[in-house]
Amino acid sequence: MILRVDYLEPDVSLTLREAAEICLMCGVCCVVRGHACHVQYDDRFGPRQTYVYDCLGAEDPAGNPNIWLCVSCHKCEEICPYEVSPLRFIEALRAQAFQRGLIHPVMLGEVEQVLSTGYAFPLTPSAARRREELGLEPIRAEAADELGRIAEATGFARKLRKIKEAQG
Ligand code: SF4
Ligand code: SF4
């Protein structure tokens, strides 16, 4: 299966292999401290094997568990002098991984959290208390019903159930 994603310019799309080829492995997106990818601080990566190239250059990119470390901050896209957008590929790889049932368990938990409440973060009693202290309205999980219907209608919920079954 060829992975093709939209690119920075309208009507431009590249395969992962093409993107990996236009990436010159200059390392700028990962080694300029304070401005580059924060995942690079992980000991597993270094100047010779940067996080971005670990994602773009893997043998089975969608099967690489490291694609789930990216937090979609867009720093790599902004700093790359050659207009390569590693983030777009990482996002496309995650979509491909999801289709293969390879979603990371932490991400699976986040997806379930969003579907059940409409919020990406747990709605804790302390958050509710803090909102009250600040004079903010209580959070209402009103979007959950609608999200649930969308997830069922699009087959997303069925796919999630299959993945959960397979992951045990
Ligand atoms: S994505 Fe851009 S900045 Fe990062 S290594 Fe490739 S060419 Fe360099
Ligand atoms: S978007 Fe992902 S890959 Fe790019 S700098 Fe942020 S964490 Fe790193």
Distance CA 7, CA 126 (A): 42
Residue 78: CA atoms inside 13 Å, Cβ hemisphere, count?
8
Ligand 2 centroid vs 46 CA: distance in angstroms?
15
Instruction: Give the residue, by CA position, lying nearest to ligand 2 atom 7.
Output: 70
Q: Which residues are 159's β-sheet partners?
A: none
What does the pLDDT profile of the chain (168 residues) look like in tens digits?
455 555 555 555 667 667 677 788 889 999 887 888 999 999 999 988 899 989 988 888 889 999 999 999 999 989 998 888 888 889 888 988 988 889 888 889 989 999 988 888 888 899 889 999 999 998 887 888 999 999 999 999 999 999 988 887
Do residues 85 and 8 touch, judged by C-beta distance below 8 A? yes
Q: Both tokens of residue 85?
A: 């957008």
Distance CA 78, CA 129 (A): 38
Pocket probe for ligand 2: among 23, 37, 45, the residue whose CB has the most ligand atoms within 8 Å is 37
Tell me which DSSP letter residue 48 carries. S
Alpha carbon separation from 132 to 124, 140, 142 (Å, rounded): 13, 13, 19
Q: Both tokens of residue 70?
A: 């990216």
Distance CA 167, CA 144 (A): 24
